[in-house]
Amino acid sequence: MVKSSDFVQETQPLCDPYRDFDNRLMPKLYPDKQISVAKETISLILYSYGITDSSYEVIDRGIENTSLYIQTQDKKYVLRVHRQGKRDENISFQLAFQNYLRKHGIPIPRIYSNTDGKELTIIEIDGLRWQVILMECAEGENYTKHYAPELIHDLASTQAKMHLLGIEYAKKMQGSEKIWTELVDGLAERIQDTPEHTPEIIGFIERTRSFYYKLNPKLPHGWNQLDLDLEGNVLVKDNKASAILDFNDLDYSPCAVCLGYSLWAVLFADGENVTRQYLAEYIKIRPLTREEYGALPHIMLFRNYAVGMIELLSKPKPEFMQKILQLEKGIPKISFL
């Protein structure tokens, strides 16, 4: 049985929370830790699942791991090869939590076992050890720009249910989880000052580096996905969430942080009114404490800083950064109390 005490934080929990942020083509944050995709390599991996005749297509999104579509004669899968440096215990815990959510009605793609009956496949190729999972290829669009009213109701309700389940799962596991105490950026240090950066962007980077928010220890905690948005982590079909993807950022954390990250995504896509609609649907399932309401704008601002850093670490689009700068000014004016 996988226990929460087996889960070890591989990075500082609040320093790098946007590892798989968006669906745009972006370079990997750890390019030297990715598997080299070749027909022979993929064939060797798939042999572990009894698949001997297939084709593949690299999925050019996500900045943490390497994922591929696998097509056999009668079925389509998603193969994920984790970057080097992950702990087996953490991945197994993520899979166990996904299974728990799926059993309780959350739309999570099925994970297929290998020929040894295990969901996590460990394989050595050219002297390097790789961790692999094979998933169901769920139906739905993996990139939806706007939050339609029906989708707001469905996704907000789903997220609230996930948070309630995450709280219960923490009680069930009874591990020694650590309480989150602060929000501090850790991405800005990776950015080098260059002549390409305008004074406006340099100022933004400096404010990101100096950002600090002390979290109230009373915030309800649970096991949370921490990356629920329409930028590739949710499949949408008929204006409903058909699949929740990517639990790479799974952590024992304040539910308000996971919610705040999602509210930021709604704000970025559709503005404050729609953001408030999302929150109104969410609290029908899980009402918030006063402390959570008060923390949300600070969490959204933190998300805005970190997303801006991710953009600057890739190939920043001026129009994208302008919106980030606008939100930096606007988010502190938002209150949910």
| Predicted model pTM | 0.88
State both tokens at 320.
Answer: 């994208």
pLDDT for residue 59: 87
Asked if residue 118 lies in contact with residue 94, where contact means CB atoms within 8 angstroms, the answer is: no
83 alpha carbon, distance to own chain's centre: 15
Cα distances from 278 to residues 20, 131, 268, 275, 288, in angstroms, run 22, 36, 13, 5, 13
Residue 56, beta-bridge partner list: 70
Cα–Cα distance, 179 to 52 (Å, whole number): 46
Reported as a pLDDT band with limits 50, 70 and 90, residue 189 is confident
| Whole-number CA gyration radius for the chain | 20
In sign, the C-alpha dihedral spanning 229, 230, 232, 237 is positive
- The stretch 98-103 carries a mean pLDDT of 98
322, exposed or middle or buried, with CB in 10 Å at 0-12, 13-18, 19+? exposed
The CATH number assigned to the domain with range 149-333 reads: 3.90.1200.10
Residue 195, pLDDT score: 66
The letter for the amino acid at 81 is V
CA atoms within 13 A on the CB side of 271: 2
- The values of phi and psi at residue 287, to 5°, are -60, 150
Q: Where along the chain do its domains lie?
A: 4-18+25-136, 149-333
Q: What CA–CA distance (Å, rounded) separates 311 from 309?
A: 5
The domain 4-18+25-136 having CATH identifier 2.130.10.30: the answer here is: no
Contact 279, 156 (CB under 8 A): yes
Which pLDDT band, with edges at 50, 70 and 90, does 187 fall under?
A: confident
Q: Which of 302, 235, 244 is nearest to 97 (CA)?
A: 244
For residue 326, give the DSSP letter.
Answer: H
Instruction: Print the SS3 string covering 175-216.
Output: CCCCCCCEEECCCHHHCCCCCCCCHHHHHHHHHHHHCEEECC
Structure tokens at 249: 């950022």
The tens digit of pLDDT for each residue in 204-241 reads 999 999 999 999 999 999 999 999 998 878 999 999 99
